[in-house]
Amino acid sequence: MNLFENVRLALEGLRANKMRALLTMLGIIIGIASVMAISTLGSAMTGSVTKTMDKIGGKNIMVSLSPKNYDTQSTLQEEDLITQDELDAFRSTYADQIKAISFSTGMGSGQLNSGFIHKDVSITGASPDYGLVNNINLVQGRFISDRDMDGTRNVIIIDTTLRNNLVGVDGDVIGKEIQVDTKSTNETYTVIGVYEKLVIDNPLFYMGDDTRIECFIPITTAKSLNPDTTNLNGYENFTIMATSNTDSAAFALTTKEYFVKGLGALSDFTIQAESLEAMASEATGMLATLSLGISVIAGISLLVGGIGVMNIMLVSVTERTKEIGIRKALGARNSAIRSQFIIEAIIICLIGGIIGVGLGSALGIMGSTLMKFPTSPPFLPMIIALCFSMAIGVFFGFYPANKAAKLDPIDALRYE
Amino acid sequence: MMRNKIIEMRGIVKSYYLGTPNELEILHGIDLDVYEGEFLSIVGASGSGKSTLMNILGALDRPTKGHYYLDHLPMENVRDDGLSQIRNKKIGFVFQTFNLIPRSTALKNVALPMLYGGVPRSERSRRAAELLQLVEMSGRSHHRPNELSGGQKQRVAIARAMANDPAIILADEPTGALDTHTGRLVMDIFHRLHQEQGKTIILITHNAELAEETERTIRLRDGSIVDNRMNGHYQLEACHESV
């Protein structure tokens, strides 16, 4: 007897008890559907984290000086700061791993005035590499150059919203002079570039609705203008962009060690270096743990479903004792009886698995679409889920099937 | 003319152990020969060991002692799968309670032994249809057992017994659940199979009248054969043959 004949026999058996088969399947359907929904959602979230990381600079390492002890008030001393020379040395030591280093300092918010137009803006002093490191998308003009830095020039990069307000979508704003008043300065800047604001539509990276307009000026200009700035001869924070084939998490550790050595043991401060990649993998790791936890619960429901299948198969064997006796009298071998019942259990589980996979993927896709993580159903988990449901059929079908196969034909024939 | 001995039983003992001191012996050394083409009946009161003998004849059970050759094949040391195969190929069962598979049509019921015998699907349906025609049940081949009368069910069961062209047909009280008229029809089919196809048929019954119709009757009492004689007109034929 081949597999095909066995499948036909099993289907006949199931067709005789449709409602019961469906109810038995329900346990498997629920189990598989929840595993499937979770894995679809999980892979959508992980995928979206990776995508967003690429957008905001996955290879970035943020380095900053931070107090060793937050309880005592510690003031940053000039000797704590990282000097340009130290940075140059660092950069040449690890030239093959560093793509760019950028610095920035916030100057706070101010008001931009140009003719009748008044806008609230925030001003950031940035170094030339800031644009590259932070993925600033220039649509017009240029970013800050070394010459702007050296000359502490009053030049400014504005965003597209501001440009549209000033000169309209098609207008030329490059070279236009605008005035920006902050708490302590009123300066006139020449517009040299326009950038498009990065939109992060990932709820996992939601950082509040930032409607402020950010404008960039050379960091040297910012420092010279801002009398509060004490860190004239060094930096307390900067961002390293590692090359694409560098393990940025490991390089963050290297960086930290390198600069901690330069600090000296007496300093109240230490170096913190965090790679975005490591932070992201931490986030995805948490997601993975979460989905593992939910999968365990779903697995328990699968187990319960499997026990349900076993229970129904046992009932079915008892109910069909006489039939088994007849089949044996007509020459069915034990193995034929066993495979008939195992295949029946597998079919229940497989049909349940297919329905569960369909339902679960649909739920997962619906959920991830609602949460704005566009995704396609994950192929591998589908195959795994189907194989797993078949395995449940084999596992929980074996005992009842074996019981059927071992029935004594005389006793079975006599059974009423 | 040498007749082919299809069944040879020597000293068949069947006992059940109900703990060592309580051995219950059902059959006490049965010797039985059945020749090819014979129509034999086995009679006996209930408790005489009829069913036990039939189970051993039908390869559903093994004797405790003794030798049993079916179609010259020694049945000792045949494993369970071997017994299944022997039941499938050599024996056709007809039961008192028909024992058809309730969810399957008449045609599928008839085809079932062929399924277990590894006959290809198209061949199975063809032969099953042929067999149903033989028992005049062609018109009902797609009906399920619950849509058939008792006599019709038994005819389907006889067709099923013939499926793999067995060496013997073993009929256990085949008319026991039928009224006289339909019982008569079923017996006629057996006679036809015996006369037209030369089938070896063993009929187990407690109905003396039906036993009388067969060539030879074996009477069992308390686990032993107490009578073994030729019946009526067959006796004459047998005399002619031996002369």
Task: Tell me the pLDDT tens digit for each residue of B234-243.
Answer: 655 554 554 4
Backbone angles phi, psi at A230, to 5 degrees: -100, -15
Helix (H) or strand (E) holding B200, with range, is strand B200-205
Short-list B160, B179, B180, CA closest to B169: B160
B200-205 sheet: strands from edge to edge:
B91-94, B168-172, B200-205, B39-44, B216-221, B224-230
Contact between A204 and A48 (Cβ < 8 Å): yes
CA B3 to mean position of chain CA atoms: 20
pLDDT at A175 over 80: yes
Chain B hits for A336, Cβ within 8 Å: 116
The whole-angstrom distance between B136's CA and the closest CA on chain A is: 22
| B150 CB-near residues (< 8 Å, 6+ apart) | B98, B177, B178, B179, B182
DSSP helix, strand, coil percent of chain A (3-state; round to 5): 55, 20, 25
In this prediction, residue B142 carries a pLDDT of: 94
The whole-angstrom distance between A311's CA and the closest CA on chain B is: 22
Helix (H) or strand (E) holding B56, with range, is helix B50-57
Question: Where residue A132 falls among pLDDT bands split at 50, 70, 90?
Answer: confident
pLDDT at A35 over 90: no
Contact between A375 and A36 (Cβ < 8 Å): no
* CA distances from residue B71 to A166, B41, B86 in whole angstroms, order as listed: 108, 19, 10
Put simply, the answer to whether A413 touches B99 (Cβ < 8 Å) is yes
Mean pLDDT of the B110-134 span: 93
Partners of A229 in the β-ladder: none
Contact between B69 and B236 (Cβ < 8 Å): no
Residue of A nearest to B117 (CA): A331
DSSP letter, residue B163: T
**Of A71 and A218, the one with more pLDDT:** A218
B84 closest CB neighbour out of A12, A13, A331: A331
Q: Does B93 touch chain A (CB under 8 A)?
A: yes
Task: Tell me the pLDDT tens digit for each residue of B148-159.
Answer: 999 999 999 999
**Domains in chain B, please, with CATH?**
37-65+81-242 (3.40.50.300)
User: What is the DSSP pairing of strand B200-205 with strand B168-172?
Assistant: parallel
Weakest-pLDDT range from A123-137, A199-213, A379-393: A199-213
Does residue A191 come out as left (phi exceeding 0), alpha (psi in the -120 to 50 range) or beta?
A: beta
Helices A321-329 and A334-370, axial angle in degrees (round to 10): 130
Residue of A nearest to B108 (CA): A9
Contact between A388 and A31 (Cβ < 8 Å): no
Q: Does B228 touch chain A (CB under 8 A)?
A: no
Domain locations along chain A? 3-53+282-414, 106-231
DSSP string, A248-308: HHHHHHHHHHHHHHHH-TT-SEEEEEEEHHHHHHHHHHHHHHHHHHHHHHHHHHHHHHHHH
Short-list A67, A59, A73, A68, CA closest to A246: A59
Contact between A261 and A118 (Cβ < 8 Å): no
Quick one: tokens of A48?
């979206």
Put simply, the answer to whether B99 touches A329 (Cβ < 8 Å) is yes
Weakest-pLDDT range from A177-181, B4-8, B10-14: A177-181
Mean pLDDT of the A74-94 span: 79
**Of B166 and A57, the one with more pLDDT:** B166
The whole-angstrom distance between A2's CA and the closest CA on chain B is: 9
Compute the mean pLDDT over every residue in chain B, rounded to the nearest whole number.
Answer: 90
- Coil, strand or helix at A32: helix
The whole-angstrom distance between B213's CA and the closest CA on chain A is: 27
Measured CA to CA, the distance from residue A214 to residue A197 in angstroms comes to: 9
What letter represents residue B58's amino acid? G
Chain A hits for B61, Cβ within 8 Å: 410
Task: Tell me the pLDDT tens digit for each residue of A180-221.
Answer: 887 777 888 899 999 888 776 666 665 555 667 888 998 888
Put simply, the answer to whether B103 touches A410 (Cβ < 8 Å) is no
* CA distances from residue B72 to B45, B169, B194 in whole angstroms, order as listed: 30, 17, 21
* CA distances from residue A248 to A33, A92, A102, A204, A366 in whole angstroms, order as listed: 38, 17, 16, 21, 35
Chain A hits for B112, Cβ within 8 Å: 327, 330
CB atoms within 10 A of CB B225: 20
| B131 CB-near residues (< 8 Å, 6+ apart) | B110, B159, B160, B162, B163
The whole-angstrom distance between A1's CA and the closest CA on chain B is: 6
Which range is most confident: A250-259, A290-299, B59-68?
A: B59-68
CB atoms within 10 A of CB B222: 14
Partners of A220 in the β-ladder: none
Short-list B76, B65, B177, B156, CA closest to A326: B156
In this prediction, residue A378 carries a pLDDT of: 78
Helices B150-161 and B106-116, axial angle in degrees (round to 10): 20
Mean pLDDT of the B98-127 span: 93
List alpha helices for A204-247, DSSP H. 219-225
